[in-house]
Amino acid sequence: MSVKQQQPYQCGVDAAIDVVDGKWKVHILWVLNDATRRFGETRRLLPGISEKVLTQQLRELEADGIVHREVYEQVPPRVEYSLTERGLRLNAALAPLAEWGDERIAMLREGDAPAA
């Protein structure tokens, strides 16, 4: 497992944030949530991500046991990515946060300013 933090975690949120830290990891999790995808398809579903960054983020998620990488020995080689059971559980844990974010987006669209 790839543990980036050197010191002991202070709480469970700290440990979870360590895994999803980065601009693209949560987006990758959502893209892989409903289907196994090839690298190119994943990249097309994430406009703005570079090939280098996607590769790096997928490797980190794989090292953390969140993403499974399946290599098919054929010509040309085929590689597919899917979520592990741990990755599916992480997505389920992120669902309430996404719900909260959707409510915030709706509030901002309606012009309601957040309470100061």
Q: What is the pTM of this model?
A: 0.83
pLDDT over threshold 80, residue 38: yes
Tokens 């996404």, residue located:
98
Residues 86, 66 contacting (CB under 8 angstroms): yes
Q: What is the pLDDT of residue 76?
A: 87
- Stretch 87-111: mean pLDDT, rounded? 93
Q: State the Cα–Cα distance between residues 85 and 116, nearest whole angstrom.
A: 40
Convert the pLDDT of each residue in 46-96 to its tens digit: 999 999 999 999 999 999 999 999 999 999 889 999 999 999 999 999 999
pLDDT over threshold 60, residue 3: no
